């Protein structure tokens, strides 16, 4: 997995126009007492280091390992996911949808970029992009091709457009050859994209 | 007054590929982090609600040209200016020139974790029974509406099946217009690709589901 650190851009000493504008607004909001700068730092740290797709991967691994949890997450995802400590903002109302041989699920928000933050973190650029939002509701197999994925024509592709405050998590298929793996090992195979339906789970032993 | 959303992208013709991106840092510049954080912190003040935020973003004239956090930032400026919480002069000067206006709340550092964990659930108690039952065929509203709405253009005037009753939720259309929550039953409605796309259907075994509030639906 490629690690994308901020050093890439923070090496630049000159600040861009957006840096200056955002900084100016933050200064005004702080001076007026509308925002607490320390709260902003905590928000940033939270979404950079604590809330991300490894949370969702743990949910998926648990569902693969524990039939009772799988059943719970498929019938009351909000409660089942909250039991692992993932809840709140942009995950208040969760629905989990399971991939099978017969059906492959894909999630989109064509109207903005709704995404289940507590389990997946903030969305990747492609999820928010016009091509994804435009195409996946009509040509999901074409979109899957962009991700290097071809599924049998007999598999139904079910696209979920997140138009209200319900957020969708895809439970991808467990790959063969993973018998005996524990929760952490299984979770390591679960990619972010597989929990949106735009990717598959890594085969065990494949490089990340 | 006309209302134009530039965000309703589903089904728009484009040959542009989707560009996969490795899992990693969700931010690509420092200003994106700050813009995200100040938007969340201002949202937590209660000066507006999330549906008003979406309306502010989707009506930005340069929506298509802005990147994601650019939309957030410009949408935030619209909301702040509309409420005179920040003035154009202050933005130009880069500092506060006017006295602060009172806000319902300010998000304190000590409360961030609890506020995020609580989120903003939209489900409300039912006051009336649901109009539709699972398995029932419905038709979505065909007309465009002159305000924020969450029924995508591609799904207007289409016949689908009620697949799930999601309970009663804050009605985005009313909430965005400052008309209160007006909670309504919310349903998952499933459509066939032929119904949605007709001759443009790619015939690849697609079914599509979206979540629709009761006022969007009529019996079919």
Interval B92-129: pLDDT, tens: 999 999 999 999 999 999 999 999 999 999 999 999 99
Beta strands in A51-137 (DSSP E): 93-98, 103-108
Residue entry with tokens 């009506």: B59
Mean pLDDT, range B17-24, rounded to an integer: 94
Residue entry with tokens 């790619």: B202
Mean pLDDT, range B85-89, rounded to an integer: 96
A173 to chain B, minimum CA–CA distance in Å?
Answer: 19
Average pLDDT, chain B: 97
* CATH code for position A157: 3.90.330.10
Mean pLDDT, range B59-70, rounded to an integer: 96
Q: Do A153 and B204 touch (CB under 8 A)?
A: yes
Mean pLDDT, range A70-99, rounded to an integer: 98
A12 to chain B, minimum CA–CA distance in Å?
Answer: 11
What would you measure as the largest C-alpha separation in chain A, in angstroms?
60
Residue A83 within a domain: yes
> Does A59 share its domain with A45?
no
Position B1 confidence tier, pLDDT thresholds 50, 70, 90 = low
> Does A25 share its domain with A86?
no
Interval B130-189: pLDDT, tens: 999 999 999 999 999 999 999 999 999 999 999 999 999 999 999 999 999 999 999 999
Q: Do B24 and A128 touch (CB under 8 A)?
A: no
What do you get for the CA distance between the two ends of chain B, in Å? 31
Mean pLDDT, range B58-67, rounded to an integer: 97
Residue A3 within a domain: no
* Domains of chain B: residue spans and CATH: 30-118 (1.10.472), 123-219 (2.30.30.50)
> Does A35 share its domain with A91?
no
Burial letters for B39-58: b for 16+ Cβ neighbours within 10 Å, e otherwise?
A: bbbbbbbebbbbbbbbbbbb
Residue A162 within a domain: yes
* CA atoms of B50 and A43, how far apart (whole Å): 17
The verdict on pTM exceeding 0.90 is yes
Task: Quote the number of domains for chain A.
Answer: 2
Q: At what angle do helices B30-43 and A17-31 cross, to 10 degrees?
A: 30
Chain B interface includes A56 (CB < 8 A): no
Mean pLDDT, range A117-127, rounded to an integer: 97
Contacts of B24 in chain A (CB under 8 A): 1-4
Contacts of B213 in chain A (CB under 8 A): 164
Interval B133-142: pLDDT, tens: 999 999 999 9
* CA atoms of A170 and A107, how far apart (whole Å): 8
> Does A186 share its domain with A119?
yes
> Does A65 share its domain with A91?
yes
Task: Please give the DSSP secondary-structure letter assigned to residue B216.
Answer: G
Residue A8 within a domain: no
> Does A170 share its domain with A82?
yes
The pLDDT, as a whole number, for residue A203 is 85
* CA atoms of A71 and A77, how far apart (whole Å): 9
Position A3 confidence tier, pLDDT thresholds 50, 70, 90 = very low
The pLDDT, as a whole number, for residue A5 is 43
> Does A43 share its domain with A58?
no
> Does A74 share its domain with A38?
no
- Per the structure, the complete domain to which residue A87 belongs is given by 52-195
Q: What percent of chain A has pLDDT over 90?
A: 89
* CA atoms of B133 and B113, how far apart (whole Å): 39
| A24, A34, A198: residue with CB nearest B100 | A34
Best of A4, A11, A25, A81 to disrupt the B interface (most B CBs within 10 Å) is A25
> Does A72 share its domain with A120?
yes
Chain B interface includes A187 (CB < 8 A): no
> Does A152 share its domain with A183?
yes
> Does A28 share its domain with A70?
no
Residue A168 within a domain: yes
Best of B206, B207, B212, B215 to disrupt the A interface (most A CBs within 10 Å) is B206
Contacts of A16 in chain B (CB under 8 A): 29, 31
> Does A68 share its domain with A128?
yes
Residue A2 within a domain: no
Displacement of CA B210 from its chain's centroid (Å)? 13
* CA atoms of A165 and A114, how far apart (whole Å): 8
**Short-list B21, B108, B82, B36, CA closest to A90:** B36
- Between chain A and chain B, the number of residue pairs with CB atoms below 8 A apart is 303
Average pLDDT, chain A: 93
Residue A9 within a domain: no
Q: 3-state SS of B24-38?
A: CCCCCCHHHHHHHHH
* CA atoms of B44 and B105, how far apart (whole Å): 7
Position A202 confidence tier, pLDDT thresholds 50, 70, 90 = confident
Residue A24 within a domain: yes
Q: Token digits for B93? A: 């000067």
Position A2 confidence tier, pLDDT thresholds 50, 70, 90 = very low
């Amino acid at each position: 997995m490629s690690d994308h650190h901020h050093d890439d851009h923070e090496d630049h000493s000159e600040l861009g126009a957006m840096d200056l504008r955002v900084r100016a607004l933050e200064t005004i909001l702080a001076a007026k007492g509308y925002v607490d700068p320390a709260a902003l730092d905590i928000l940033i740290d939270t979404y950079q280091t604590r809330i991300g797709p490894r949370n969702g991967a743990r949910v998926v691994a648990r569902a693969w390992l524990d039939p009772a949890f799988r059943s719970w997450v498929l019938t009351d995802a909000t409660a089942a996911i909250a039991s692992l400590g993932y809840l709140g903002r942009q995950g208040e109302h969760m629905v989990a949808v399971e991939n099978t041989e017969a059906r492959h699920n894909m999630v989109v928000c064509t109207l903005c970029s709704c995404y289940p933050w507590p389990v997946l973190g903030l969305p990747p650029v492609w999820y928010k992009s016009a091509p994804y939002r435009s195409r996946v509701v009509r040509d999901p197999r074409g979109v899957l091709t962009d991700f290097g994925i071809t599924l049998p024509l007999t598999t139904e592709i079910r696209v979920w457009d997140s138009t209200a405050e319900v957020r969708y998590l895809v439970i991808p298929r467990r790959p063969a050859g993973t018998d005996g793996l524990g929760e952490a090992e299984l979770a390591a195979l679960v990619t972010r994209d597989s929990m949106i339906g735009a990717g598959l789970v890594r085969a065990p032993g494949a490089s990340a | 007054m006309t209302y134009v959303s530039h965000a309703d992208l589903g089904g728009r013709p484009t040959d542009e590929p989707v560009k996969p991106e490795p899992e990693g840092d969700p931010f690509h510049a420092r200003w994106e982090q700050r813009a995200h954080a100040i938007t969340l912190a201002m949202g937590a003040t209660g000066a507006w609600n999330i549906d008003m935020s979406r309306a502010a973003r989707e009506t930005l004239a340069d929506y298509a040209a802005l990147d994601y956090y650019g939309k957030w930032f410009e949408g935030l400026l619209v909301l702040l200016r509309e409420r005179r919480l920040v003035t154009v002069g202050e933005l130009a000067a880069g500092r506060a020139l006017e006295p602060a206006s009172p806000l319902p709340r300010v998000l304190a550092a000590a409360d961030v974790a609890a506020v995020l964990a609580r989120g903003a659930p939209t489900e409300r108690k039912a006051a009336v029974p649901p109009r539709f039952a699972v398995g029932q065929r419905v038709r979505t509203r065909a007309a465009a509406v002159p305000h924020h709405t969450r029924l995508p253009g591609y799904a207007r005037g289409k016949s689908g099946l009620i697949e799930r009753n999601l309970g009663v939720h804050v009605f985005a259309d009313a909430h965005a217009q400052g008309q209160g929550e007006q909670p309504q039953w919310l349903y998952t409605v499933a459509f066939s690709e032929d119904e949605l796309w007709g001759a443009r259907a790619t015939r690849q075994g697609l079914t599509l589901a979206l979540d629709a509030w009761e006022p969007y639906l009529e019996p079919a």
